[in-house]
């Protein structure tokens, strides 16, 4: 009873305080900053406030005002023991422990505790870890001092480091135990004890934090709206009338390069995917490191099988074909009968009547000629194609042959069957369909490449993504390793935990772009690896040493010369010798991929940018503004881009459909005189990550907004592009495939319809809906463009409502006309993954009606319009 009385009393006091605060705010209050161990310590910095330092109110419990970005995804990104300090510069400075092992702490600063600058993780010259970091300020020398306790491997001590700016640090000094002032406090929040720092602040500071948290949580509700709630949200809605007036005198020029593709080797997009090679691990270079040792079978033997007896299959590295490909197979045959079989990428797909180029490097080490049958078989060993080659040289020699398949097979094998005893070495064993895209040697899988070409992409961004900046410094993608004869190219670990043979290299990328009429947009790392790197410690804080940057920059300048230089230049000649005497006419170069915009990044980016600008002023350099549509990298990235006068930046965001619905005005507020935008990666993500009508229509809605903003957003590419079934690291993707089938998603058709129906002139229109609710208005969009080449007028309409829309479309400024137009409709239930566009002919005039089905995307293309003078 007594307990109940006290509980009620406490509750009444708290209630009184809270209500009084709401009614008449105090001048100041106490602010408590802390983190919790929930979610493995990944929930970041929290705040609570109090008027009396006894009763504390959490601001949105577990609301994160700042999250740690230190280290790799998954296991890291934790914040422990944050320490907040208000500096004489009027800024808040926060340090925290990142883990128990590394000799670093994390630091970030903010003016208002809401918007934070990019984080810094100083590399400190001492042995130990940084526990309980604390900040103070030395007014004499105007330096900040960070001190901490270190306890690692049996060693314990206290240390401090001084810094004028949290970028540059003096040497670490040892500190007496008594000199370490850990002034953290313990308070009770919601009955749980938390440790952190306390500051007295004006009430307005706390009010802003409370309002910010409320806004974030309100937006989260909007962004997580899904069509599942449509029956309630739109109960009773049967049909909407839309009066659309297109004003042909009200127009603006927009980019004619809006729709393109972003190709990254993720989800087996390259080897086993777009790159048409059928043999897996042809160079015997698979390495346990590719998967960080997690798969003991992932090694030089992977995908190869010795079948039969009296033979030994081993791997050697002595005197290889080329040092870049050190491993090769040794096949010792005591008695003929055994064979070496390659399973391909979960089978080899073969087509009856088609020819396949077989090749391998081989040498005989027993001083005699060995005849080898090369067979295409089904999994039971039934032969569907065969040829014979002879290994007679004791030196490495390339042997080539052509095999015709007699059958269609999804799961074929390649077999090498020596016909006599002896020992042979084999490397770069290849089986390539002659039927590649455009018949290119070492080319691309025809059906997949055609599907990409059908989007009519105006550009291709490659080779990543994360693949471009790599998992640690050693994994940065180096274009020079990917050109030249295949045996000379240098394979490497793929950041997505598999292997890149580099068979699909820069020459093939550029050739593909040319073949489909798309601008190549190669991306080079900005001298820093991925900030989420799991190799080499603190992610991208370890940039390429400045002493090595000249060589790195030279590689980038060489890339431009290789692409654009004439045959007389060093690198132009190398391109010409590879089969392309004419320049590739490179116009764009991306530097960086959604990097942490740290000072390490900025320093290296500037060096690269200045060198490119000086030598190749016509190249449009595309910078990067972090992985999200907001936050410190986005803000600092934009600031930096403006500071150095970048022509264009690359934005990335993967968001729920609700985000796209409620942010259609994202670019309407962008500065028209600043850098242009390339939206390099985006996709609508629903829980469970399907690619369905709901996600596709959210993307379509957003694409109409991009067209409206086509004066500032000049390019956009959905991500990722390709995914091999059963080998996906990321969902959703635009095109799924297996060895013999391609499976475009509904989102693919949105890209294709936009790509094939783009324009270079945007017409503004007025839209009046019979139902004026915001929820209705935001789920209907129209975009009217004209294609300057065909002179066609293209009307795109998105209906993300569960009801039909009767459109009355009036086109002001057209002479009276009546014409046939094509009308393509993609419609379906929101969770439909199989809907396909349907095309029909309709009659249109300058004032016509058209019915849009529920959940649909419609493109009406009116041929060759004439505008009134």
Q: Which residues are catalytic?
A: 594
CA 798, 804, 810, 815 torsion: positive or negative?
Answer: positive
Among 266, 431, 476, 785, binds ligand AHR (CB under 6 A): 266
Gap between the Cα atoms of 315 and 327, Å rounded: 6
| Distance set, CA 167 to CA 70, 120, 273, 622, 676 (Å) | 16, 7, 44, 26, 30
Q: Which of 418, 422, 464, 472 lies at the binding interface for ligand AHR (CB under 6 A)?
A: 464
Q: Does 320 bind ligand AHR (CB under 6 A)?
A: no
- Per-position DSSP letters for 688-736, written without gaps between them: T---SHHHHHHHHHHHHHHHHTTTTEEEEEES--EEETT--SSS--SEE
The distance of closest approach from Cβ of residue 264 to ligand AHR in the complex, given in angstroms and rounded to an integer, is 5
**What is the C-alpha to C-alpha distance for residues 787 and 294, in angstroms, rounded to an integer?**
52
Token pair of 136, please? 């103070």
For the chain, the distance separating the N- and C-terminal CA atoms, rounded to the nearest angstrom, is 88
Applying CB under 6 A, among 122, 418, 457, 465 the residue interacting with ligand AHR is 465
Q: Which one of the spans 162-170, 212-220, 437-445, 458-466 is the region binding ligand AHR (CB under 6 A)?
A: 458-466
Q: Fill in the DSSP letter of residue 638.
A: H
Residue 595 engages ligand AHR in binding (rule: CB under 6 A): no
Kindly state the smallest distance separating residue 468's Cβ from ligand AHR, in Å: 8
Please identify, using beta-carbon distances, which residue of 495 and 794 lies nearer to ligand AHR.
495
- Rounded to a whole number of angstroms, the minimum distance from the CB of residue 590 to ligand AHR is 11
| Closer residue to ligand AHR (CB): 684 or 854 | 684
Round to whole Å and give the CA distance between 535 and 532.
9
Residue placing its CB nearer to ligand AHR in the complex, 299 or 717: 717
Q: Which is nearer to ligand AHR, 720 or 759 (CB)?
A: 720
# of chain residues touching ligand AHR (CB under 6 A): 13
Using CB under 6 A as the binding rule, whether residue 627 contacts ligand AHR is answered as: yes
User: Would you count residue 681 as binding ligand AHR (CB under 6 A)?
Assistant: yes
Q: Which of 274, 267, 281, 271 is nearest to 414 (CA)?
A: 281
Q: Using the rule CB under 6 A, is 720 a contact of ligand AHR? A: yes
Report d(CA 329, CA 418) in Å as an integer.
14
Q: Considering the complex, what minimum distance in angstroms separates the CB of residue 271 from ligand AHR? A: 17
Give the other-Cβ count within 10 Å of 154's Cβ.
5
> What is the C-alpha separation between 182 and 851, in angstroms, rounded?
69
Cβ proximity of 846 and 793 under 8 Å: no
Q: Quick check: 730 binds ligand AHR (CB under 6 A)?
A: yes
Task: Report the residue from 451, 700, 719, 753 that binds ligand AHR according to the rule CB under 6 A.
Answer: 719
Please choose, from the candidates 743, 748, 737, 744, the residue with its C-alpha nearest in 3D space to the C-alpha of residue 349. 737
**How far is 571 from 773, CA to CA, in rounded Å?**
60
Q: Which stretch binds ligand AHR (CB under 6 A): 24-32, 200-208, 459-467, 841-849?
A: 459-467
Residue 260 in contact with ligand AHR, rule: CB under 6 A: no
Decide if 437 contacts 512 (C-beta within 8 A).
yes
Asked if residue 31 binds ligand AHR (CB under 6 A), the reply is no
Q: In the bound complex, what is the minimum distance in angstroms from residue 549's beta carbon to ligand AHR?
A: 23
720 preceded by cis ω (within 30°)?
yes
651 is an interface residue for ligand AHR by CB under 6 A: no
Among 81, 264, 265, 415, contact with ligand AHR (rule: CB under 6 A):
264
- 807: nearest Cα among 847, 839, 779, 772: 847
User: Which residue, 553 or 683, has its beta carbon nearer to ligand AHR?
Assistant: 683
Query: Segment near ligand AHR (CB under 6 A), from 278-286, 404-412, 464-472, 544-552?
Result: 464-472
Q: State yes or no: residue 593 binds ligand AHR (CB under 6 A).
A: yes
Report d(CA 49, CA 213) in Å as an integer. Answer: 13
Return the number of the residue (466 or 753) whose C-beta is nearest ligand AHR: 466
Q: Under DSSP, is residue 172 helix (H, G, I), strand (E, B) or coil? A: coil
Strands of 39-120, DSSP E? 46-50, 57-58, 80-86, 92-97, 105-110
Nearer to ligand AHR, 657 or 710 (CB): 657
Q: Which stretch binds ligand AHR (CB under 6 A): 44-52, 460-468, 736-744, 778-786?
A: 460-468
**710 sits near ligand AHR (criterion: CB under 6 A):** no
CB of 593 to ligand AHR, least distance (A): 5
Among 225, 594, 602, 650, binds ligand AHR (CB under 6 A): 594
Nearer to ligand AHR, 172 or 495 (CB): 495
Site residues for ligand AHR per CB under 6 A: 264, 266, 464-466, 593-594, 627, 652, 681, 719-720, 730
């Amino acid at each position: 009873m007594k307990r109940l009385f006290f509980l009620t009393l406490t509750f009444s006091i708290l209630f009184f305080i809270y209500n009084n605060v709401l009614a008449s705010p105090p001048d100041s209050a106490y602010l408590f900053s802390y983190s919790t161990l929930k979610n493995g310590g990944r929930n970041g910095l929290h705040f609570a406030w109090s008027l009396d330092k006894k009763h504390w109110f959490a601001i949105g419990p577990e609301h994160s005002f700042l999250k740690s970005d230190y280290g790799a995804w998954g296991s890291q990104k934790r914040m422990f023991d944050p320490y907040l300090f208000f500096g004489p510069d009027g800024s808040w400075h926060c340090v925290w422990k990142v883990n128990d092992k590394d000799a670093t702490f994390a630091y970030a600063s903010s003016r208002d505790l809401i918007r934070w600058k990019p984080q810094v993780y100083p590399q400190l010259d001492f042995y130990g870890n940084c526990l309980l970091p604390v900040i103070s300020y030395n007014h004499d020398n105007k330096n900040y001092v960070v001190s901490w306790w270190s306890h690692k491997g049996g060693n314990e001590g206290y240390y401090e480091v001084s810094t004028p700016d949290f970028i540059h640090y003096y040497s670490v000094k040892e500190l007496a135990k008594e000199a370490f002032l850990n002034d953290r406090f313990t308070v009770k929040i919601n009955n749980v004890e938390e440790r952190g720092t306390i500051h007295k602040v004006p009430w307005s500071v706390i009010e802003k934090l409370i309002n910010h948290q409320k806004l974030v949580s309100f937006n989260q509700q909007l962004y997580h709206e899904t069509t599942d709630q449509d029956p309630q949200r739109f109960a009773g809605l049967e049909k909407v009338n839309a009066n659309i007036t297109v004003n042909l005198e009200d127009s603006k020029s927009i980019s004619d390069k809006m729709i393109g593709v972003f190709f990254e080797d993720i989800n087996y997009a390259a080897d086993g995917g777009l790159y048409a090679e059928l043999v897996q691990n042809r160079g015997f270079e698979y390495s346990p490191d590719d998967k960080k040792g997690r798969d003991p079978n992932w090694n030089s033997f992977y995908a190869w099988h010795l079948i039969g007896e009296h033979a030994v299959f081993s791997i050697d590295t002595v005197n290889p074909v080329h040092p870049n490909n050190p491993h090769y197979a040794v096949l010792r045959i005591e008695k003929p009968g055994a064979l070496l079989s390659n399973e391909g990428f979960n089978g080899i797909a073969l087509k009856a009547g088609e020819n396949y180029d077989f090749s391998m490097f081989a040498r005989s080490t027993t001083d005699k000629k060995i005849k080898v049958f090369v067979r295409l078989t089904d999994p039971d060993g039934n032969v569907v194609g065969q040829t014979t080659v002879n290994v007679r040289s004791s030196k490495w020699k390339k042997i080539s042959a052509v095999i015709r398949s007699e059958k269609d097979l999804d799961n074929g094998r390649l077999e090498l069957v020596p016909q006599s005893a002896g020992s042979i070495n084999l490397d770069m064993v290849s089986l390539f369909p002659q039927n590649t895209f455009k018949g290119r040697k070492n080319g691309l899988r025809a059906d997949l490449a055609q599907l990409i070409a059908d989007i009519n992409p105006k550009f291709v961004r490659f080779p990543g993504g994360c693949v471009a900046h790599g998992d640690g410094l050693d994994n940065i993608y180096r274009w020079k390793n990917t050109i030249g004869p295949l045996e000379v190219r240098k394979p490497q670990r793929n950041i997505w935990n598999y292997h890149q043979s580099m068979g699909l290299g820069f020459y093939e990328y550029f050739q593909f772009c040319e073949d489909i009429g798309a601008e190549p947009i190669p991306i080079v790392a900005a001298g820093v690896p991925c900030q989420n790197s799991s190799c080499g410690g603190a992610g991208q804080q370890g940039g390429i040493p400045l002493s090595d940057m000249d060589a790195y920059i030279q590689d980038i300048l060489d890339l431009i010369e290789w692409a654009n230089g004439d045959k007389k230049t060093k690198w132009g000649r190398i391109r010409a010798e590879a089969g392309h005497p004419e320049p590739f006419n490179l116009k764009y170069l991306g530097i960086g991929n959604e990097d942490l915009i740290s000072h390490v990044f900025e320093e290296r980016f500037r060096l690269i940018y200045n060198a490119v600008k000086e030598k190749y002023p016509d190249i449009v350099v595309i910078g990067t503004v972090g992985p999200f549509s907001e936050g410190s990298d986005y803000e600092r990235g934009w600031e930096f881009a403006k500071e150095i006068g970048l022509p264009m930046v690359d934005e990335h965001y993967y968001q729920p459909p609700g985000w796209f619905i409620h942010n259609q005005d994202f670019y309407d507020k962008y500065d028209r005189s600043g850098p242009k935008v390339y939206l390099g990666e985006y996709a609508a993500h629903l829980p469970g990550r399907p690619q369905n009508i709901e996600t596709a229509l959210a993307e379509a809605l957003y694409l109409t907004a991009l067209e409206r903003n086509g004066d500032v957003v000049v390019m956009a590419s959905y991500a990722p592009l390709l995914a091999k079934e059963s080998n996906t690291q990321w969902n959703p993707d635009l095109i799924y495939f297996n060895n013999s089938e391609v499976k475009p998603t509904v989102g693919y058709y949105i890209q294709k319809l936009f790509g094939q129906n783009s324009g270079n002139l945007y017409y503004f229109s007025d839209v009046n809906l019979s139902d004026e609710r915001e929820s209705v208005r935001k789920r209907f969009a129209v975009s009217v463009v004209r294609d300057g080449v065909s002179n066609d007028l293209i009307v795109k309409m998105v209906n993300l409502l569960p009801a039909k829309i009767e459109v009355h479309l009036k086109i002001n400024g057209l002479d009276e006309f009546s014409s046939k137009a094509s009308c393509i409709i993609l419609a379906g239930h929101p969770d439909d993954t199989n809907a396909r566009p349907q095309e029909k002919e309709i009659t249109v005039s300058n004032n016509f009606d058209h019915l849009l089905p529920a959940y649909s995307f419609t493109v009406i293309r009116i041929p060759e319009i004439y505008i009134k003078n």
